[in-house]
Amino acid sequence: MTAFDLDAYNERARNGPCFICSMLAGAPGYEHRIVLDDGIHVAFLDRYPTLHGKVLVAPRTHVEDTIGDFTEDQYLTLQRVVHRVATALAATVPTERVYVLSLGSAQGNAHVHWHVAALPPNTPYEQQQFHALMTEGAGVLPDDPERADRLAADLRARLNGGT
Query: What's the pLDDT tens digit per position in 116-131?
Result: 999 999 999 999 999 9
CATH class of the domain defined by 6-159: alpha beta
Task: Give the distance from CA 10 to its chain's centroid.
Answer: 17
Kind and range of the H or E run holding 102:
strand 97-102
Cβ(74)–Cβ(31) under 8 Å?
no
Say how far apart CA 30 and CA 95 lie, in whole Å. Answer: 28
Give the pTM. 0.95
For the chain, which residues make up each domain, given as ranges? 6-159
Among candidate residues 111, 114, 131, 113, the one with its CA nearest the CA of residue 123: 131
| 110: region left, alpha or beta (phi > 0 left; psi from -120 to 50 alpha) | alpha
User: pLDDT by residue (tens digit) across 40-57?
Assistant: 999 999 999 999 999 999
DSSP tag of 25: T
Alpha-carbon torsion, ordered 138, 140, 145, 149, to 10 deg: 120
